[in-house]
Structure 1
């Protein structure tokens, strides 16, 4: 059975085309649910109107379907809380030029 760690590893290969940082380090991954051979991923983006949502969703779907044992992938975009740069990894913040004190 596929693990959350395997899914996260693959998601580190998915990028927002407008930002040269993977979606895990950007803090876009909200939740991963695995049930048998099905994976449901909840993602957020920098804004609800992000024009790249289809591109990102398709990339996520294709890459996760490439994991052995995965037969179905559902990508859901959620905006119940606003994404902020605070959600980025320290590595991503540094790459984007954010001062650690600024957030």
Structure 2
């Protein structure tokens, strides 16, 4: 491994840690545990693409949440650029929530 190669796994873990600091305003659980993050792609140029959804298309933070995700991910030193793509396919459901999130919300 030469010095210019980044470890995308390590960077992926850092990105997940950052995502876990972002909360849905209506539910006291972070967006990662809620299952709003469908995928995180990191290429060898340290450019990040995040595929995420919202709890509903009418989500009150539909405008601001993706921007917050982009800003926070871009703030990681190793990240050159970040882009968030919103999808509603598949639509979010409570089944996507982690056990931790369900426990937190008293659903278990």
Aligned positions of 1:7-22 closer than 5 A: 7-22=15-30
Structure-1 separation of matches of 2:14 and 2:63: 23
In the alignment, does 2:26 pair up with 1:26?
no
Structure-1 separation of matches of 2:86 and 2:23: 15
Structure 2 unaligned residues grouped into runs of 5+: 1-5
* Deviations 1:8-37 (CA, angstroms, capped at 9, x unpaired): 111001111121110010000101111212
* Deviations 1:51-102 (CA, angstroms, capped at 9, x unpaired): 2122211211111111112121101111111211111111110111213xxx
TM-score using structure 2 length: 0.84
Structure-1 separation of matches of 2:92 and 2:85: 15
Structure-2 separation of matches of 1:41 and 1:26: 15
User: CA RMSD, aligned part only?
Assistant: 1.3
Structure 1 unaligned residues grouped into runs of 5+: none
